[in-house]
């Protein structure tokens, strides 16, 4: 297998299926077996549907079988209002498609993972704050409103370091108690490409799988462990500093190639040396640093608004925008 870039060697962690499929595609030059990729564009927004449909695809991608939809809206970073409204609508539509199978009548539980005290990790809890919560109201409302309102509840279970309880345990306990019909989990993600920070939204119907992904399905939050469909919604808010490093080295390599035809920086180092460089030098120096835009607070807060808006539309399709807004105060 030819190596295209230093980034290829590093393979910094990404939570986005689209980035993994891009990497495999670039590396091999052809489609990944067991994985289909479809892309459509509407105005300034691109929607990519990555479908992992075999265990071979699962293994190659390092991600569970299922559907991964990515909504790329670069203008989100500029907090463009039209793009925000547009992205929210597309999110609602894609979410509705994923939910269709569930033919919902009961409660939906929205769970926002992450640490409200660490801004880049606060996306989930911030979305929860803006969700139109109705489960406690459906019985008490005037019938003309009540019948059109779907039961939604929302929790932010916090993080292990603050509660002493795994967020998955927290969610399992609550699910056992209130028996929802569908769970939507919102979380901040890590990307490999800095351009994707705050500009991509990933939906999937595979649930959440802590750690590297594939493995024992018993550990994650998914339909097997929770007994009901689980949809995950996430937005990358950080990239590892190693990504920046790899990016820079690749830019340099490219530049040098442009100058001296036959030269390859990476070929100067043997593969084993590259690996040792990555693991013994680069990772210890940068491994724990995450890169996040300086204006992360306002970006996270805006993105939480977009996600919540999309979720509220999808979860309350029978309410008018005014009714949704009014109920949210």
Which residues in 273-302 contact a second copy (CB under 8 A)? 273, 277, 281-282, 285-286, 288-298, 302
Q: Which is nearer to a second copy, 79 or 93 (CB)?
A: 79
Q: Which of 172, 181, 214, 324 binds a second copy (CB under 8 A)?
A: 172
133 binds a second copy (CB under 8 A): yes
Q: With beta carbons less than 8 A apart as the criterion, state whether 134 and 150 touch.
A: yes
- Residue 269's closest CA among 9, 23, 28, 29? 9
Q: Where in 107-126 is the site for a second copy (CB under 8 A)?
A: 107, 117-121
325 binds a second copy (CB under 8 A): yes
Q: With beta carbons less than 8 A apart as the criterion, state whether 236 and 196 touch.
A: yes
Q: Which is nearer to a second copy, 133 or 214 (CB)?
A: 133
Q: Where in 225-284 is the site for a second copy (CB under 8 A)?
A: 238, 241, 244-249, 251-252, 255-256, 259-260, 263, 265, 268-269, 273, 277, 281-282
Shortest reach from residue 240's CB to a second copy, in Å: 10
> Looking at the DSSP assignment, which residues form a beta bridge with residue 184?
110, 231
85 binds a second copy (CB under 8 A): no
Q: Which is nearer to a second copy, 29 or 139 (CB)?
A: 139
Per DSSP, helices labelled H in 42-138 are 55-61, 81-100, 123-129
The alpha carbons of the chain give a radius of gyration, in whole angstroms, of: 21
320 binds a second copy (CB under 8 A): no
Shortest reach from residue 114's CB to a second copy, in Å: 11
Which three-class secondary structure state does DSSP give residue 122? coil
Shortest reach from residue 259's CB to a second copy, in Å: 7
Shortest reach from residue 281's CB to a second copy, in Å: 5
135 binds a second copy (CB under 8 A): yes
Q: Which is nearer to a second copy, 29 or 161 (CB)?
A: 161
Query: Which conformational region is residue 215 in: left (phi greater than 0), alpha (psi within -120 to 50 degrees), or beta?
Result: left
Q: Is the dihedral of CA 196, 197, 199, 204 positive or negative?
A: positive
Shortest reach from residue 203's CB to a second copy, in Å: 22
- Residue 21's closest CA among 198, 193, 189? 193
Compute the distance between CA of residue 171 and CA of residue 227 in angstroms, rounded to an integer: 12
Q: Which of 57, 158, 220, 229 binds a second copy (CB under 8 A)?
A: 158
C-alpha angle 124/100/308, rounded to 5°? 25
Q: Which of 39, 55, 165, 224 binds a second copy (CB under 8 A)?
A: 165
145 binds a second copy (CB under 8 A): no
Q: With beta carbons less than 8 A apart as the criterion, state whether 306 and 76 touch.
A: yes
329 binds a second copy (CB under 8 A): yes
Q: Which residues contact 279 (CB under 8 A, 6 or more apart)?
A: none
Shortest reach from residue 39's CB to a second copy, in Å: 24
Q: Which is nearer to a second copy, 14 or 153 (CB)?
A: 153
160 binds a second copy (CB under 8 A): yes
218 binds a second copy (CB under 8 A): no
Please give the distance of CA 218 from its chain centroid, rounded to a whole number.
21
Shortest reach from residue 35's CB to a second copy, in Å: 29
Q: Which is nearer to a second copy, 43 or 295 (CB)?
A: 295
C-alpha angle 81/85/86, rounded to 5°? 115
Q: Where in 3-62 is the site for a second copy (CB under 8 A)?
A: none
C-alpha angle 83/197/212, rounded to 5°? 130
Question: H/E element holding 72?
Answer: strand 66-72
Q: With beta carbons less than 8 A apart as the criterion, state whether 241 and 289 touch.
A: yes
């Amino acid at each position: 297998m030819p190596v295209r870039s230093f980034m290829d060697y590093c393979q910094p962690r990404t939570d986005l299926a689209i980035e993994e499929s891009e990497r495999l595609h670039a590396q091999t030059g052809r489609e990944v077996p067991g994985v289909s990729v479809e892309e459509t564009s509407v105005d300034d927004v691109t929607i990519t549907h990555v479908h992992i449909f075999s265990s071979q695809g699962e293994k190659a991608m390092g991600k569970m079988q299922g559907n991964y939809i990515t909504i790329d809206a670069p203008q989100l970073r500029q907090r463009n209002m039209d793009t925000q409204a547009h992205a929210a609508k597309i999110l609602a539509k894609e979410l509705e498609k994923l939910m269709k199978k569930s033919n919902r009548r009961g409660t939906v539980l929205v769970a926002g993972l992450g640490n409200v005290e660490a801004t880049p990790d606060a996306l989930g809890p911030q979305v929860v704050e803006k969700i139109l919560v109705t489960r406690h109201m459906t019985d008490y409302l005037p019938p003309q409103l009540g019948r059109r309102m779907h039961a939604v509840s929302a929790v932010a279970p916090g993080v292990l370091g603050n509660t002493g309880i795994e967020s998955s345990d927290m969610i399992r306990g609550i699910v056992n108690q209130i028996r929802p019909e569908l769970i939507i989990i919102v979380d901040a993600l890590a990307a490999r490409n800095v351009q994707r920070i705050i500009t991509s939204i990933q939906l999937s119907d595979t649930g959440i799988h802590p750690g590297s992904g594939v493995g024992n399905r018993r550990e994650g939050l998914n339909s097997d462990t929770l007994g009901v469909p689980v949809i995950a919604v996430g937005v990358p808010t950080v990239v590892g500093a190693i990504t920046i490093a790899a990016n820079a080295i690749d830019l340099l390599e490219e530049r040098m190639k442009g100058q001296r035809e036959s030269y390859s920086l990476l070929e100067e180092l043997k593969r084993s040396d590259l690996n040792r460089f990555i693991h013994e030098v680069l990772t210890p120096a940068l491994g724990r640093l995450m890169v996040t835009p300086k204006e992360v607070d306002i970006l996270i807060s805006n993105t939480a608004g977009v996600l919540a808006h999309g979720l509220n539309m999808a979860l309350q399709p029978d309410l008018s925008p005014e009714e949704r807004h009014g109920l949210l105060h």
